[in-house]
Amino acid sequence: MTIRPEVKRGRKVWRVTYREGSRTARRFFPTKGAAEAYAAELTRAAAGVGPALGACSDWERAQMLAALHRAQTGGYSLAEACQSIEDTRKASRPTLPVGELRALFLAAKAAQGLRPRSLRGLASSTSLFIRGREAMPAGQITPTMVAAFTTAPGFSAWRHRTMLVDLSTWFSWAVALGHLVANPCHGVPRPIMETPPPVLHHAGDVLQILRTAERLDPEMVGYGAAGYLAGLRPESEMQRLEPANFRGNLIRIDKWNKTRRRRDVTICPSLAEWLNRWRVLGVPLAPAQAGRRWHAIRKAAGYTKREQDVMRHTFVSAHYVVHGEVATTAQAGHSAQELHGSYRDLLSPEEAAAIFEVRPDPAADYPANAAARMAHWRRSNPAHMREMLKKRWPQPQTGRSLEADARRRPASGV
């Protein structure tokens, strides 16, 4: 074993040369001390080999030499051969059925604290995948099965990508707990997609939809205004707001939101007017069946196509133009990179400013009495809309009804 200085790629290094079996090996180190430490480690390891070999019988030493010869002839090491045998034995062990493994996975994720929406997504993707193979041992799942599932017709490219990510999350969890040897999703290519620009509404659209809400379903004006003029997320933020979250001209979004980070959203003057109208009704910001009622309002206003997160996209785009990057990242909870990539140059300064000037109709009727509001709703909504809400979206058995929600008294301070 030798230690010598050497110049490699214009830098001085120290080379350790030693014998490894029948070949000469070299290792390079930036300092002489590191090279000497490695050489001392090799010396100590070699000193321990002798006694260990001496304790072996002649037959065991002969087996070692024969195995070493086979490995050298095949181009692999003894360590690689041992690893291959261990992996094969793990793969041949009986594994849980995929149905049982899925149940354990969902229970573990629920205990971990995943949000209900995330759990529903994982449950949906894994349920579709195991359909018809619930009793199959999990160890028999192959990348070919995963690739066939995530490219099956009938789903969009975004859905294919989501299902692949969900399955990979499931199988990575199974590998970490020892249920599987490898993740069968590894190596399955993800779909390549172009991210479309966000769909926005202009000031005229916002005004028409909110005025339609005033006319047909006044209880929803706070919901729509908070979405368009504050960018609140309907499910993870509006539905969880309490009186304590309204602090003067701010709305405090606590850590239960999508990003699990607290932020304060400023209430602009036009939003304050809409919220003042909403407060006198004594209903939650997201009342019973808010999503379904809001879709009915949009349809009555002439917007029949479902547009994902259009209220939040409109707010972020307008706020970015009016107030700039720093203020918008604080208000929306977005990163500067996402703002630049998705929301820049989508609205002119005049269009953006006009969105924050959308105000309630001074002559709109906001009946404060719950029974009067229900009568107003039945009287104002066309018969076909009432039938659509009744047939397509029946009242849930365990949820709040419109009448019960209207009877709720406002919490103090809202």
Three-class HEC string of 69-107? HHHHHHCCCHHHHHHHHHHHHHHHCCCCEHHHHHHHHHH
Q: What is the dihedral of CA 72, 78, 81, 85, to 10 degrees?
A: 150
Question: Alpha helix (H) ranges present in 241-348?
Answer: 269-279, 290-300, 310-323, 325-332, 336-342
Query: Which residue type is seen at 61?
Result: R
At residue 159, the 3 state secondary structure works out as: helix
What element of type H or E holds 242?
Answer: none
Extents of the domains making up the chain: 2-92, 98-176, 203-406
Radius of gyration of the chain (CA): 32
Please list the residues that pair with 263 across neighbouring strands: 253
- Domain 203-406: state its class: mainly alpha
Instruction: Give the predicted TM-score (pTM) of the model.
Output: 0.61
Query: Which residue type is seen at 28?
Result: F
The tens-digit pLDDT sequence of the chain (414 residues) is 889 898 877 788 889 898 776 678 888 888 888 888 888 888 877 777 667 776 778 788 788 888 888 888 888 887 788 877 777 666 656 678 999 999 999 999 999 888 888 899 999 999 999 998 899 988 888 999 999 998 888 888 888 889 999 999 999 999 888 888 889 998 888 877 777 777 889 999 999 999 999 888 888 999 999 999 998 888 778 888 887 888 888 888 876 566 667 788 889 999 999 998 888 888 888 888 888 889 888 988 998 888 888 898 899 889 888 988 888 888 887 777 777 666 766 788 899 999 999 999 888 877 777 777 777 777 777 665 666 556 544 444 434 444 444 444 343 334
Q: Half-sphere exposure (CA, 13 Å, Cβ side) for 218?
A: 30
Question: For helices 116-130 and 98-112, what crossing angle results, to 10°?
Answer: 170
Same fold for the domain at 98-176 and the one at 203-406?
no
- pLDDT at site 255: 63
- pLDDT at site 384: 56
Distance from C-alpha of 282 to C-alpha of 169, rounded to nearest angstrom: 43
Please list, residue by residue across 313-349, b when 16 or more beta carbons sit within 10 angstroms of its beta carbon and e when fewer do.
bbbbbbbbbbbeeeebbebbbbeeeebeebbeebbee
Question: For helices 221-230 and 203-216, what crossing angle results, to 10°?
Answer: 160
Q: Measure Cα distances from 270 to 120, 162, 207, 273, 379 in Å.
A: 36, 38, 12, 5, 28
Q: Say if domain 98-176 classifies as CATH 1.10.150.
A: yes
Please list the residues that pair with 13 across neighbouring strands: 6
- pLDDT at site 399: 43
The one-character DSSP state at 403 is: H
